[in-house]
Amino acid sequence: MKKPPRPKHPLNPVILIVLGLAISLYSLFITWTVPDTNKNIMYVFTAIGALFFIVGLIRHLKSRNKSLVTEEREVATRLTNVSVTKSSVNKLQTNSQTDSQRQQKTIILCPKCRSRNYSTSNYCHMCGMRLR
């Protein structure tokens, strides 16, 4: 069994942004309000938080660069890449079900997000809108 590919960025960029802001602001708050703190260490934490924020922001901007056309092409190729072998054709030919029981899969567009779905789908696989 083939394993699914690992995601490129295991952490959501929004989590990195929020975490970086929280670390930076909290360490600055402690530096300014508590008189007996070691300010050098707190500034190191502020820099670490700023680094998290910048990395999250860069990852977020990179993930938004994908165009809608590229995403539509990927969905279309995922939906239309069906491998047909001789054994699967023979199984279909020898199957005793009637043609009325079989539903032919055609591709329809979701009215909300314009993604491509099979006509046998009840809901859109991208946005979840009811198709039937």
pLDDT tens by residue, 86-131: 555 555 555 545 554 455 678 888 888 888 888 888 888 889 888 8
Number of domain units in the chain: 1
Of 96, 128, 98, nearest in space to 112 by CA? 128
Total Cβ atoms within 10 A of residue 22: 13
Average pLDDT, stretch 73-78? 71
Tokens 């279909």 locate to: 92
Total Cβ atoms within 10 A of residue 117: 22
d(CA 58, CA 9): 12
55 within 8 A of 16, measured Cβ to Cβ:
yes
27 within 8 A of 49, measured Cβ to Cβ:
yes
The token pair at 42 is 């707190």
What crossing angle do the helices spanning 39-63 and 13-33 adopt, rounded to 10°?
160
d(CA 57, CA 51): 10
Give me the domain span that covers residue 47: 13-63
Residue 36 lies in a domain: yes
Query: What is the three-class DSSP state of 18?
Result: helix
The answer to which of 2-11, 21-30, 72-81, 84-93 has the lowest mean pLDDT is: 84-93
pLDDT tens by residue, 37-61: 888 899 999 999 999 999 999 888 8
